[in-house]
Structure 1
């Protein structure tokens, strides 16, 4: 008989060791402890599945800092060869998640496997997720930028920038709403269709507000004639600095404005002390991918984003 139970703080070493090579323990433990400090994970959200006292698998819940309801599942590692054990782990996790008030859960799968989750057995994980009702929502290319060199402003052709402090929340939500029109990002397009342009833009804005940022980092770009061009909203997630959201209005696309906005976002993060930035873009959004490459980012992984609603 399998038992799923919460992990006590003194058992974290046992938790990170389950189904994991010894040389990877330190990276997973550092990740878990950092997530605790950021408020994205909690000790009571970490679980072991056992049989007769032997730990066979593990999983944990994750959410944006400051929120009390899990939004995702991480460190999902049941014994893949034991379907019954995996089923028991999922059933108990689902029950606990519902008790915490969640109505859905996400899961992201990165290829190739890397720290801190080390998601080996990608095809097996995909099969497990599909059997549990998860649906593939989005596939992205992942990019990262690393440098110890200062980043300089480039000529911007007379573009005017105004920060969140200057224009206010309503102007940013309006910019997001307009910039998300005819997007190449499939998930954003679907959410826009489901929620409506305004509610979706408002949700994006407030989700990004739950991360760490400074108001002067978030900027709207205008022509000298005061026409809105686009926006950039860099943030710091619980694990890395990122270009939280960036967009150019449809009527201004194809003119190189995205490169100017991306450079502004990178400079804001670099000036705050960041030397390592990550960002994702939909596999079909080649214009954005090319902008990252021009800005000195390199593609390091592919991510599949899954979600189940219950």
Structure 2
């Protein structure tokens, strides 16, 4: 627990996209770490009852709702003037270029407000700077994130970029199978030799680590990689953890890189993007095939006090 005195020295935080998949966790982590926490309440929410209820539940937990709209620049600037740190968690899964435009608008508002000590744009996946050679059409994801980074750095806005790798909800419960979020019963597709090392993260831990970075001088203008050592696993190791839990072996079906890429044909845009990302993660090992160099920090080394969730424990949810 934080004392009131500790809380007074902490940055005030605005979460943009607070009702989203990672945003709602960011709001709760910010509150639990003692930050005065604002959530941008956008009129675009309209009659979305689930979002409205979530905003009210944040309020009950002590968050403050602040109205602001991307179609009203002044309202954004006014909201920013209330805080020190902005965390953007807007998802761009279906409308990527729309997300890009909104984030560029946010950068403009931060520039005008002039008081923001740290901006964390909507990243939380692979490090976009390392994905310049990514396959089309998924490459758009990284190109757009790099455009946002360029706008931030050109505007001299202090930043932290968080590379959170693979969210467990999307990659662990399903043993990294595409097209389902639950564990397969009989057989499992193994990508290539299944030995590429992947980093799997519990989403609540992503939020916990992210909030720890915002007042830390060591993470200023750096990329923070979430790579807790126990959660660096190959797909085969992940499958084995599940087999040990259920006491049953699954049949393994190996998919070659060529066959996997050929499966892209005829898929819709979002699915093609997904196949491309899976390819880079499971065939190329893009999450772990580099050393974190200058300009980067690893979260579990910075914050050894965080008791992050291991993936065998995460998998018990699915028993």
User: TM-score if structure 2 supplies the norm length?
Assistant: 0.30
The structure, 1 or 2, with the larger RCO (C-alpha pairs under 8 Å, 6+ apart) is: 1
- TM-score between both structures, scaled by the size of structure 1: 0.30
Flag the structure with higher strand content. Answer: 1
Which structure: greater helix fraction? Answer: 2
Q: Whose Rg is larger?
A: 1
